[in-house]
Amino acid sequence: MNVVLISFSLALILALGLVITLGGLSLLSGVMEFLFGKPKLYFLKSSSKDGFSFGFRFNDAKEPAKYDMVRVRQYNPFGSPTQVEVTRPFSPQGSSFATEVDLGESFKDIKKSAGLDKSIISVTLFSSKDGISHEFNFKGAVFMDKVNHAAETIEEFENKFKAKKVKPLYQTTSKSFIAEPLPKTGAQLKLATNPQFAGDFAAAAGGEGAAAVESFPVSKVWIEAGCIICNACEDIAPDVFLVNDEGCIVRDGAPLDNGPLIQEAAEACPVEIIKFNKA
């Protein structure tokens, strides 16, 4: 037997082993999903004589539906009445939930029906908005036994299964602007929050000691290389400047009639790269 044949045989054995392993894992996953991933209906202790309480547990991440209706139907071909059906709505529920439903006279008809033990009773939960339903079938005797002997209350079910939604905690960070001068130029951002320029902004706002600022138009604005993306220019003149991930640019069709505002943005630039020409 030559080396090529031995190598081929080993590769074939490894491939078959891999296929069998993957098949086994897939089968195991399917079994786990069948046993533990399917929606489940729980019968709960009820205070109503004309209805019952139930809990419904499902994977709302995998199936994000809101259930809002339950239907109880009895198939009784060898008894009387041969069929009973009643549907009741309830408030939409988007996660595992529990509720009590009053079926009225229809539930009395089911309990008193001849041949109840051998009949089939189905409980179907609907999401009318999402078009999803889940049906659970029981022998009549089993159904009534579960209803009559349920021991767990709605509150106990919700404490056990229903996810408690905790409001996220947000912490707001307070910021103050007292910036160190840039090492190369010694410049600082000219903003109202910087105490060094508080007087200038007070004057611009018409405060005590305010001086009239003569307006002038600008013929051209451009930005040289070296933007540090500080957003100062866009904060001051958002109609003229746009700051993106790559730096600052002058907007297309930007209004250039407010020269003092553009000058203020240029003076606020910490790296002094905003340039303009007066008209």
Paired residues of 60 in beta bridges: none
Range of the domain at 100: 40-161
**57-99 pLDDT per residue, tens:** 888 777 788 899 999 999 998 889 999 999 999 889 888 889 9
Rg of the chain's alpha carbons, rounded to an integer? 37
Q: Is residue 265 part of a domain?
A: yes
Length of the chain equals: 279
Tokens of 13: 């054995």
Q: Do 44 and 157 have their domain in common?
A: yes
Cα separation of 193 and 51, whole Å?
Answer: 66
State what percent of residues in the chain have pLDDT above 90. Answer: 36
State the pairing for strand pair 51-57/97-102.
Answer: antiparallel
CATH number for 94 = 2.60.40
End position of a domain, from candidates 161, 176, 211: 161
**Predicted local confidence at residue 25, as pLDDT:** 53
Residue 35 pLDDT greater than 60, yes or no: no
Which distant-in-sequence residues (6+ apart) come within 8 Å of 100 by Cβ? 44, 46, 47, 48, 51, 52, 53, 154
The tally of CA atoms less than 13 A away on the side-chain side of residue 255 is 8
Domain count, the chain: 2
Most trustworthy range by pLDDT among 59-73, 146-160, 168-182, 198-212:
146-160
Bond before 181 cis per omega within 30 degrees: no
CATH number for 237 = 3.30.70.20
Contact between 208 and 198 (Cβ < 8 Å): no
Look at residues 66, 84, 67 and name the one whose alpha carbon lies nearest to residue 75.
84
Contact between 188 and 179 (Cβ < 8 Å): yes
Q: Is residue 180 part of a domain?
A: no
Q: Do 51 and 152 have their domain in common?
A: yes
Contact between 70 and 126 (Cβ < 8 Å): yes
Q: Is residue 185 part of a domain?
A: no
**129-151 pLDDT per residue, tens:** 888 889 999 999 999 999 999 99
User: Rounded to 5 degrees, what are φ and ψ at 203?
Assistant: -65, -40
Q: Do 123 and 57 have their domain in common?
A: yes
Q: Do 142 and 204 have their domain in common?
A: no
Q: Is residue 14 part of a domain?
A: no
Contact between 124 and 76 (Cβ < 8 Å): no
Q: Is residue 208 part of a domain?
A: yes
**159-173 pLDDT per residue, tens:** 887 544 444 454 544
What average pLDDT does the structure give for the chain? 79
Q: Do 229 and 135 have their domain in common?
A: no
Q: Is residue 87 part of a domain?
A: yes
Q: What is the mean pLDDT of residues 121-126?
A: 93
Q: Do 44 and 149 have their domain in common?
A: yes
Residue 174 pLDDT greater than 50, yes or no: no
Q: Is residue 22 part of a domain?
A: no
pTM for the full model? 0.47
**Predicted local confidence at residue 26, as pLDDT:** 57
Q: What is the mean pLDDT of residues 186-198?
A: 59
In order, the DSSP letters of 159-207 are HHHSPPP-PPP--PPP----PPPPTTT------TTSGGGHHHHHHHTT-
Residue 185 pLDDT greater than 80, yes or no: no
End position of a domain, from candidates 115, 140, 161: 161
Q: Is residue 27 part of a domain?
A: no
